[in-house]
Structure 1
Amino acid sequence: MKPTTDRMLIRIKDMYMFIRDNGTVTTQDLVDEFGITPRTIQRDLNVLAFNDLVISPTRGKWTTTNKRVKLTS
């Protein structure tokens, strides 16, 4: 894989773990934590939502679903 793809996948995994560990978080919480633009955060959240890993119960807030996930290093 390209280094940029690896970096994106690592960031998405880290983002999922951050949401899982912190409960419901806002998009701004993710921007502050990861230091990337709101648009990039939204793209990454779309990947997680497409895979049924996160949901947005209210606009701008995100939480993990009950889907079981096996994370590897």
Structure 2
Amino acid sequence: MNPSTDRMLNRVKAIYLYIHRKGTVTTQELVDEFDMTQRTIQRDLNILTYNKLVKSPSRGKWTTTNKKVKVS
């Protein structure tokens, strides 16, 4: 796998696990926690949303869905 793809997948996984552990987080919390731009965080959240792993109950807040996930 391409190293940049591998890095991106690890980052998306880390974001998912952080949201899952915290319950509900804001986009700004993710920006601060992962020291990335808001655009990068939003792109990763779009990937997670597309795969039905996270949802936004209100603007700028994120929580995980009930979809079963096997984390390796």
Please classify the TM superposition score into its range, dividing by the shorter chain length.
over 0.9
> In the TM superposition, what whole-angstrom CA distance separates every residue of 1:24-66 from its partner, at most 9, and x where no partner exists?
0000000011000000000000000000000000000000000
RMSD: 0.4
CA distance in 1, matches of 2:66, 2:39: 26
Relative to the length of structure 2, the TM-score reads: 0.98
Q: Which residue of 2 aligns with 1:65?
A: 65
Give the TM-score of the pair, scaled to structure 1: 0.97
Residues 33-48 of structure 1 aligned to structure 2 (within 5 Å): 33-48=33-48
Percent identity over the alignment?
67
1:2 Cα deviation (Å)? 1.1
Correspondences of 1:1-73 after superposition (within 5 Å): 1-72=1-72
Distance (Å, rounded) in 2 between the aligned partners of 1:32 and 1:23: 17
Unaligned runs of 5+ in 2: none
Structure-1 separation of matches of 2:4 and 2:42: 17
- State the 4+ residue runs in structure 1 displaced beyond 6 angstroms: none
